[in-house]
């Protein structure tokens, strides 16, 4: 434990949510250890910094590797490791604080293996230690436990050590994790990035998109990267890991740049799609903005229009496309409330009451609807452009192509923030296509098309876009297949 560190104490009746405990399925740990030992057959020692009940380490133990297992909680009688009850972040801090200038931590372990704690919320640990964690992690940030674990393992590792983990995969694309991605590519070779199916932890009541990553400290070890796009389910993942049915990519082809020094990890992105990102993005051409957060919707938003609450408020079209009802009516004096109430915030005031496009903020699919004049909008993304661009842009945003870009490539969490929406590339379209798209979108809006009926419209939109893009039939089919499967689950 760090010298002046706050001790993290857990009750006997500990809370799975706080500890972020989800057991790794055996076929995953078996695969990971097999690969670690293939990359370096001569290692002697390993660290699992969040060992739990030892789910990850059994195969390493069987192979004669000496293992240290750290965990903040003692979950069992540990037979396969030298168990150290400690907070790994404090352990890391202690190692880091003992260094002289420019010295590296370089722990002697040959392997790091982990399923870092997964918490979908900011846990008390981060809230209580924010200041100290901020100074320890600097640019990497203290957004969640797994990103701090990944970063610390990389920092602790000596040249050549293998660092393997299964973790939530939001760090692959989310903006806030760009510094972690940079740490990974600046300091490590990437051997495997395999996306796991969403049902992997369902039996433990966790709905989390995860990935397996196997790294090696030191850029000189970089060879081809083995990748796997997200399989449909757990059984298929098991089969593919057994068959080792992976694609092989260069480092460059898994990096999708979206600005100076900003990039995401993308898996198996066809070159035609990758090229689309060379085009201007939404934020290069239009305004992509968030609006009002009330801090208390039930107080400031009325479900029905009534005296004092007469301005339509839109906050999430969800699975609706083209047309959606407003989500209620905001208090008429919302600008005055903004001045008086601390957590009632009106961002981008000058865009309130203007017509535009309102986009989904949450959910599996992605939809864009017309935002009528004289309305207000919430913290979802809203796009403002000239009148002539509104309708073709709504059609484009509701296409299977954009669903595929948003849901298949850019965003791996349920939240669709304006940061992501701003990154959607805008493909160049002929005036004729724009006219046809505008017609389709404005008619669908007037007809108040339902999500079910919108499928026919989207087919027509796709046809127009595919004619312009001249993609291969395979890509067209993949895009349509991806998008219609998402639609079907809604």
Ligand X SMILES: C[S@@+](CC[C@H](N)C(=O)[O-])C[C@H]1O[C@@H](n2cnc3c(N)ncnc32)[C@H](O)[C@@H]1O
Q: Rule CB under 6 A: which residues touch ligand X?
A: 19-24, 49-52, 55-56, 70-73, 75, 87-89, 115, 117-118
Residue with smaller CB distance to ligand X, 19 or 157: 19
Q: Least distance in Å: CB of 23 to ligand X? A: 4
Q: Least distance in Å: CB of 86 to ligand X? A: 7
Spatial CB neighbours of 382, under 8 Å, sequence gap ≥ 6: 288, 289, 290, 291, 314, 351, 356, 357, 358, 359, 371, 418
Spatial CB neighbours of 311, under 8 Å, sequence gap ≥ 6: 329, 330, 332, 334, 353, 374, 375, 376
CA 90 – CA 26 distance, rounded (Å): 29
CA 194 from chain centre, in angstroms, equals 15
First to last CA, the chain: 47
Q: Least distance in Å: CB of 206 to ligand X? A: 9
Tokens for 14? 């500990």
Residue with smaller CB distance to ligand X, 121 or 373: 121
Spatial CB neighbours of 102, under 8 Å, sequence gap ≥ 6: none
Residue with smaller CB distance to ligand X, 113 or 479: 113
CA-angle at 146, arms to 215 and 277, nearest 5°:
65
Tokens for 249? 């990519």
Residue with smaller CB distance to ligand X, 22 or 171: 22
Q: Least distance in Å: CB of 436 to ligand X? A: 50
Helix (H) or strand (E) segment spanning residue 83: strand 82-85
CA 479 – CA 403 distance, rounded (Å): 8
Helix (H) or strand (E) segment spanning residue 309: strand 309-314
Q: Least distance in Å: CB of 151 to ligand X? A: 13
Tokens for 411? 């965003």
Residue with smaller CB distance to ligand X, 70 or 465: 70
Residue with smaller CB distance to ligand X, 75 or 132: 75
Q: Least distance in Å: CB of 166 to ligand X? A: 7
Q: Least distance in Å: CB of 48 to ligand X? A: 6
> Under a CB-based contact definition with an 8 Å cutoff, are residues 360 and 367 in contact?
yes
Helix, strand, or coil here: 342? coil
Residue with smaller CB distance to ligand X, 24 or 382: 24
Q: Least distance in Å: CB of 117 to ligand X? A: 4
CA 283 from chain centre, in angstroms, equals 20
Residue with smaller CB distance to ligand X, 75 or 158: 75
Residue 265: HSE in the Cβ half-sphere, 13 Å Cα cutoff: 28
Residue with smaller CB distance to ligand X, 117 or 291: 117
The residue at minimum Cβ distance from ligand X is 52
CA 42 – CA 53 distance, rounded (Å): 26
Q: Least distance in Å: CB of 430 to ligand X? A: 51
Phi first, then psi: what are they for 430, rounded to 5°? -70, 160
Q: Least distance in Å: CB of 381 to ligand X? A: 32
Residue with smaller CB distance to ligand X, 76 or 432: 76
- Determine the number of helices (DSSP H) and then strands (DSSP E) in the chain: 19, 21
Helix, strand, or coil here: 410? helix
């Amino acid at each position: 434990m760090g010298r002046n560190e706050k001790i993290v104490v857990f009750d006997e009746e500990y809370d799975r949510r706080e500890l972020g405990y989800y057991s790794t399925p055996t076929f995953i740990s078996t695969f990971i250890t097999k690969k670690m030992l293939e990359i370096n057959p001569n290692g002697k020692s390993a660290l699992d910094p969040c060992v739990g009940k030892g789910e990850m380490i059994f195969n390493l133990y069987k192979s004669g590797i000496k293992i240290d297992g750290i965990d903040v909680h003692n979950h069992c009688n540990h037979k396969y490791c030298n168990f150290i009850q400690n907070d790994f972040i404090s352990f890391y801090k202690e190692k880091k604080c003992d260094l002289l200038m420019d010295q590296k931590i370089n722990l002697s372990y040959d392997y790091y293996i982990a399923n870092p704690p997964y918490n979908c919320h900011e846990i008390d640990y981060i809230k209580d230690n924010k200041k100290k964690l901020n100074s320890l992690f600097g640019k990497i940030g203290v957004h969640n436990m797994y990103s701090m674990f990944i970063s610390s393992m990389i920092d602790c590792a000596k040249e050549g050590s293998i660092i393997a983990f299964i973790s939530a995969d939001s760090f692959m694309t989310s903006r806030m994790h760009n510094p972690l991605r940079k740490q990974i590519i600046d300091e490590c070779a990437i051997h495997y990035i395999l996306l796991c199916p969403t049902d992997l932890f369902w039996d433990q009541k966790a709905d989390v998109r995860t990935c397996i990553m196997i790294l090696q400290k030191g850029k000189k070890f970089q060879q081809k990267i083995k990748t796997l796009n997200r399989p449909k389910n757990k059984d298929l993942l098991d089969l593919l890991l057994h068959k080792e049915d992976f694609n092989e990519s260069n480092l460059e082809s898994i990096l999708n740049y979206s600005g100076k020094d900003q990039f995401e990890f993308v898996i198996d992105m066809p070159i035609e799609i990758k090229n689309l990102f060379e085009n201007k993005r939404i934020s290069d051409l239009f305004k992509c903005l968030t609006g009002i957060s009330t801090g208390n919707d039930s107080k400031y938003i009325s479900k029905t229009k009534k005296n004092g609450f007469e301005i339509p408020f839109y906050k999430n079209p969800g699975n609706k496309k083209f047309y959606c009802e407003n989500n209620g009516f905001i208090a008429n004096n919302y600008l005055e409330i903004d001045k008086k109430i601390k957590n009632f915030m009106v961002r981008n005031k000058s865009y309130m009451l203007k017509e535009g496009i309102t986009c989904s903020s949450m959910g599996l699919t992605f939809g864009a609807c017309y935002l009528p004049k004289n309305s207000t909008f919430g913290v979802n993304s809203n796009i403002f452009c000239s009148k002539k661009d509104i309708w073709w842009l709504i059609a484009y945003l509701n296409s299977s192509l954009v669903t595929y870009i948003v849901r298949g490539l850019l965003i791996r969490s349920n939240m669709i923030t304006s940061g992501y929406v701003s990154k959607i590339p805008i493909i160049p379209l002929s005036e004729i296509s724009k006219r046809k798209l505008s017609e389709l979108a404005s008619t669908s809006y007037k007809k108040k098309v339902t999500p079910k009926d919108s499928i026919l419209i989207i087919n027509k939109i796709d046809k127009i876009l595919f004619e312009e893009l001249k993609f291969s039939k395979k890509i067209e089919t993949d895009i349509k297949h991806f998008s219609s499967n998402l639609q079907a689950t809604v």
